[in-house]
Amino acid sequence: MQARVSFRLGAVFGVIVFLTVIVSYLTLGRQLREVLQTGIGMELKRELALNREMLKGGAARADVEADPDGWADRIGSILDLRVTLIAIDGRVIGDSYIDRDKLSRIENHGMRPEVKGALSGSFGENARYSRTIKEQMLYMAVPVGSPRPFAVLRFAKPLYDIRLFEAGVRKGIERGLFFALLFSLVVVLLTAFFIARPLRRIAETAEKRVHGDFSGIIPSHRRDEIGMLARACNFMSEEIRKMSRSEEWYRAVFSGIREAIVVTDAACDIILLNPSASRMFRLSGAMFQSRPLTMLGDSGLCALIEGVHRSRTAVLKEELAVMTVKGVRTMQVSSMPVVRDGEFDGSVFVLNDITRLRNLERIRRDFVSSVSHELRTPLTSIRGYAETLLDGAMNDPEHAQAFLRIILQESEQLTALVNDVLDLSKIESGRIEYTYGPVDLSRVVEHSMEMLRPAFEKKEVKFELSIPPGLPPVQADEAYLGIVIRNLLDNAVKYVDAGTGKVRFRAFRTGDSVQFDVEDNGSGIAHQDLERIFERFYRVDKARSRQLGGTGLGLSIVKHIVLSHKGDIKVRSRLNRGSTFSVTLPMATDFSNTRT
């Protein structure tokens, strides 16, 4: 668990205050000792000066010389000091701390530092351990007597007394410092708490911003650094909110564009792919994510993008075959360089899939070519026979009648072609308004057979109808369903042999749908032609189809009608063994007509 800022600030400030108190205590102790020693030294010096002046008088000197030890005892008792009289030769002649009978056993003091100082000048001072009285002492000495000194007067005070006084003063200082430390710590903790509270609020708000919650603002009325930090956080939050909103708009816009958009940076790495581009190249991940260019998987497109980066120019509607998840597609590629602060910063590429457009253009060209060819053949025939008749064949009744029958047949073929083209155009454009309703297959088949019966009888083709009783009706437009069935039956009777031909119509239910098969034993369809028989003007046997009056549009019309009915059509065939066309249509759910 992370420590709060207030605790850490309190700890830091507390350590600082504690160290300050310790340093102050040690410094004050040293200074106190120096002050005490200086003060006692000054006091001893004044006492010495006073007594030296007193001893200049003849009576006082005579009194001292008469009984030096007694005088030392009296002065020492009055001043509460150790008073020592030392002869010029260094002998101790009086001492307030030592009995009279022991003075003769005291070692010579002539070499003591304070005595030497007093004899060599006017004042001597020293602090040391006294071997005589076994105690640490502060010594001060002056020569006495005028004009020539007769002795050295030495005052001494035990440093033990100084330490006792110092200890008492230290206790007072320690007590004061303790309370000062306690008060300082309380103040420090309160200060840390009040400093950390706005910081904690800023941290909590920043944590909310990290998780996408931009509600609320940080109070920024303070004029100190915390207020500046709060205002900066509020400003950054607003900028992040604007950037997030902009990113959502960009994401929505890019997601709604059906063209693939690829954005690269200056290093030619992909930094943005919209959903269309991700689906096109099967790339997962976020929209704004760095990816290497090679992940597109198409060398031609990668080479184009790298060339644009090298030249740093724009590309306008350049067509390129690109490998995608749907296979090879024709793409129209446009690009625009991104320049920031005068420096090239990448490019934006827009890939528009124009495969369907190019296929439609090809289909349109093929359609125009096929229609022109289909029209040219009957028109050429009609024109040729008409010119022959005008050249005199009309005067030959036998040939004229034959020519006129050919012209009539070609005209009927031309009319059928035009009608089929118009029907197919209406069906493909969606301009047909279907009237859906429940339709009985038996009735539609019987009506279609009435129209095709002459063709069946002419070729002596056997027809079999197999529709089980109780077969549910299909949901369809009866008129257009009739076109589907007539086209399939017409194709079947055309491509079976006369006399031995057989056509079978069979219907049955499959789940929620009804399927019917139109089966014949005709010439069949080669395997390589099966995938194309529903194309416009495609004929397996062009010469035979035109001879039989076929336009090449019947199966294309059938397929479009079936798909418009939400159905499906399939074909199975074997060469010289016959073909089977299977149509599946949804079963009628009710018996009320609906229009779409």
pLDDT tens digits for 67-122? Answer: 888 888 888 888 888 898 888 888 888 988 888 888 888 888 888 888 888 888 77
Q: What pLDDT score was predicted for residue 595?
A: 39
List, run by run, the mean pLDDT of 10-residue segments along the chain (596 residues). Answer: 55 72 71 72 82 76 82 86 88 88 85 86 82 79 84 84 67 74 75 71 72 67 72 75 73 77 86 83 78 84 86 82 84 86 85 83 71 70 78 74 78 72 67 85 91 89 91 91 89 88 93 92 83 70 48 78 90 88 88 41
Query: Residue 257 carries which DSSP code?
Result: -
Q: What pLDDT score was predicted for residue 43?
A: 81
Phi, psi of 190 (to 5 degrees): -65, -40
Q: What pLDDT score was predicted for residue 438?
A: 93
Cα–Cα distance measured from residue 170 to residue 186, given in angstroms and rounded to the nearest whole number:
24
Residues 6+ positions from 491 with CB-CB distance below 8 Å: 550, 554, 555, 581
User: Is-above-0.75 flag for pTM?
Assistant: no
Cα–Cα distance measured from residue 348 to residue 338, given in angstroms and rounded to the nearest whole number:
7
Helix axes 554-564, 478-494, angle to 10 degrees: 150
Q: What pLDDT score was predicted for residue 594?
A: 40
Terminal alpha carbon distance of the chain: 68
Q: What pLDDT score was predicted for residue 15?
A: 74
Cα–Cα distance measured from residue 52 to residue 142, given in angstroms and rounded to the nearest whole number:
8
Q: What pLDDT score was predicted for residue 518?
A: 93
Cβ burial, residue 428 (10 Å; 0-12/13-18/19+): middle
Q: What pLDDT score was predicted for residue 519?
A: 93
Cα–Cα distance measured from residue 588 to residue 583, given in angstroms and rounded to the nearest whole number:
15
Q: What pLDDT score was predicted for residue 145?
A: 80
